[in-house]
Amino acid sequence: MSDAPAFTSQQGFSARFDWGAEGLQALAPDAATIVIVDVLSFSTSVDIATANGARIFPTRWKDKRAATLARERDAVLAGSTGTHWSLRPSSLVSIPAGARLILPSPNGATLTARAAETTATVLIGCLRNAAAIGAFCRATAGTVAVIAAGERWGVSRGPLRPAVEDLIGAGAILQAIGDAPSPEASAAIAAFEAAREHPLDFLWECASGRELVERGYPGDVALAAELDSSTAVPRLQPDGFIDAGTV
């Protein structure tokens, strides 16, 4: 998968961290487990839905392909007519067990699709399930690559915009793994430690959080900031994401 220079692979460390598709490309060849982190809002939504027993099918765009996938998977397309389920975490708090949902996301779902092309176990992590993801990774042999999705300067296009919420979320997971972090991973852990006592303050005031608050979605930011409130470990299966505890 990787044409990245060898020096970017963070060799010699069992817990590694990088950003976006390029970071995934650099770290994936050595990874036994890949954790995708997109705190606002894909990862948080997947955590909430799978904790309730739903099955999530990620897709990049809400378009004809997503509608076709919904028919093929006997699932509901998030944000479509007739459903209140969407990418907003608050819309999924009451999603029932057994629900099957197509969840479009230009960042988290795109990285998931690329990670699925590897032989690694693919997980979704966020602040809510950081400890649970860390425990799962500690119990699994091999290198862990934690990939922060970030945002785009052009909304869905353009260069990567590193996002504070994903840095903090990745750091929380890496801190929970607690095993031989690379310098890049250690830097993410330090960012999390700075935010640990008041994660909502950081998410509320970061660029992505301000965007959601301005759009009228403060509740989604609050849900995303609930550190270790969930024990779900969303793991990608051939038939979508499901909590690893129920597999």
Indicate whether 5 belongs to any domain.
no
Q: Tokens standing for 115?
A: 């990670």
Integer Cα distance of 66 and 53 in angstroms = 22
* Structure confidence by residue, pLDDT tens digits, 52-104: 999 999 998 888 999 999 999 999 999 999 999 999 999 999 999 999 999 99
- Structural domain for 67, as ranges: 12-230
- Residue 30: pLDDT band with limits 50, 70, 90: very high
Domain count of the fold of the chain: 1
Indicate whether 246 belongs to any domain.
no
Q: Judging by beta carbons within 10 Å of its beta carbon (0-12, 13-18, 19+), is residue 96 exposed, middle or buried?
A: exposed
* Structure confidence by residue, pLDDT tens digits, 107-131: 999 999 999 999 999 999 999 999 9
Indicate whether 141 belongs to any domain.
yes
Indicate whether 21 belongs to any domain.
yes
Indicate whether 236 belongs to any domain.
no
Q: For residue 71, what is the domain's CATH number?
A: 3.90.1560.10
Strand partners, 53: none
160 has a pLDDT exceeding 80: yes
Indicate whether 239 belongs to any domain.
no
